[in-house]
Amino acid sequence: MAFWTLHCVSCQATYQPEEVHYTCPRCGPLLGTLEVVYDLETVASHFDRQQLRLDARANHWRYLPLLPIEKPEFISPLAVGWTPLYRQEALAREWGLADLWVKDDGRNPTASLKDRASSVGLVKALEQGATTVTAASTGNAASSWAAFTALAGLRTVIFVPRNAPRAKIAQLLLYGAEVLQVEGNYDQAFDLCMQAARQWHWYNRSTAINPYLGEGKKTAALEICEQLNWEVPDVVFVSVGDGCIIQGLWKGFRDLFQLGFIERLPQLVGVQAEGAAPLVQAWREGKDQCRPLEPHTLADSIAVGIPRDQVKALRAVRESGGRFMAVSDQEILDAIALLARKAGVLAEPAGATALAGLKRLVEEKQLTKDVRAVVLVTGHGLKDIDGVLKAATATPRTVEPSLEAVARTLKLD
Ligand SMILES: [Zn+2]
């Protein structure tokens, strides 16, 4: 008997896990996203802060009692999570913040936060006896999924948009996925994948429609709290495309709050790219749903015109008292360079978008003084080398192989 149920975020219907695998049949895939709700008494009976202190696992399975897993024997050997949380004292001083931390989720096995979700999704797929699995993705979720599923011997069919960066395609091919590059954008790839999964009964890891993915993503919030010794930050900045990560973070903070691990909740700031900001628009207009748009941004991971987790994402930001905001592609490029130089963290464009949001709020004096902020970097810069190179202001200089040439070029005596 599972220790959780699935709740529809729109009509509040409750389902047992075996009754439904994806979204609420009454409300449909966009509005009927399901939330995993635990029997917290059961969880609390074998999970507390003291037990975590004694847990030597440096990965996100240290939070297994708070994850929807029935057969832990299906857990992949790939080490996910427990990524570093770096304190940025110089930047915090410069910006008038009490504290600033950067959490580098590019340090996961396939170099993005998506591994947190794929690792949970794999267990759910195997629990259901899946033999073929699929996903549509801007690139990171798919390349992550392929690593886990191919290793587990599952046939893996992936739908990516035309503009997916080459490094992500390389990952997919080498992990052993069958890659279908859709003549269209991410939103079209998503819809095609949904149809194919229904037609051939493949297990679908596409974001938002699968309620278990956000549970994996929430472990980033659990880690932030534990790594800060349960002192909750005031505000957490994260980039947003489909909205699954931000709602997952909020779920993580709420789960910990309800279990009594933390005494308050942080505000969440969701940062989108100006050319792909349907959630910002809906948030400003006080709407519960987004108007679809054609996305244009160099941050491919968040180039989303129809955010699939929009209901939960809007609710998460509103409940947290935070906000959505948008930054320009130039601000994203500036943030890539800043993160690399000040924090030593190389982020892909979407990964640096959160810092660009924080920088903007500092410049506009919109943050109260002495704020303690966390910036979540969601993907590594080597995922999109063409994208991050646009942030470089210098180019290599050619020299002859002689000391004189080095001296001349660097103007040394
Ligand atoms: Zn419903």
pLDDT (tens digit per residue) in 6-48: 999 999 999 999 999 999 999 999 999 999 999 999 999 999 9
Residue 369 has what pLDDT? Answer: 79
Residue 163 has what pLDDT? Answer: 85
Rounded to the nearest angstrom, the distance between the alpha carbon of 21 and the centre of ligand 1 is 13
Let me know how long the chain is: 413
**pLDDT per 10-residue tile (average), the chain, 413 residues:** 94 96 95 96 95 96 97 97 98 96 98 98 97 94 96 96 90 96 93 96 94 97 98 98 97 98 98 98 96 95 94 98 98 98 97 98 93 98 95 95 97 92
Rounded to the nearest angstrom, the distance between the alpha carbon of 24 and the centre of ligand 1 is 5
Residue 314 has what pLDDT? Answer: 98
State the Cα–Cα distance between residues 184 and 214, nearest whole angstrom: 26
Topology classification of domain 85-111+214-389:
Rossmann fold (3.40.50)
pLDDT (tens digit per residue) in 273-331: 999 999 999 999 999 999 999 999 999 999 999 999 999 999 999 999 999 999 999 99
Residue 91 has what pLDDT? Answer: 97
Residue 192 has what pLDDT? Answer: 96
Rounded to the nearest angstrom, the distance between the alpha carbon of 14 and the centre of ligand 1 is 9
Residue 138 has what pLDDT? Answer: 87
Rounded to the nearest angstrom, the distance between the alpha carbon of 318 and the centre of ligand 1 is 20
Domain locations in the chain as residue ranges: 85-111+214-389
Rounded to the nearest angstrom, the distance between the alpha carbon of 353 and the centre of ligand 1 is 33
Rounded to the nearest angstrom, the distance between the alpha carbon of 289 and the centre of ligand 1 is 15
Rounded to the nearest angstrom, the distance between the alpha carbon of 15 and the centre of ligand 1 is 10
pTM: 0.97
Rounded to the nearest angstrom, the distance between the alpha carbon of 27 and the centre of ligand 1 is 4
Rounded to the nearest angstrom, the distance between the alpha carbon of 219 and the centre of ligand 1 is 26
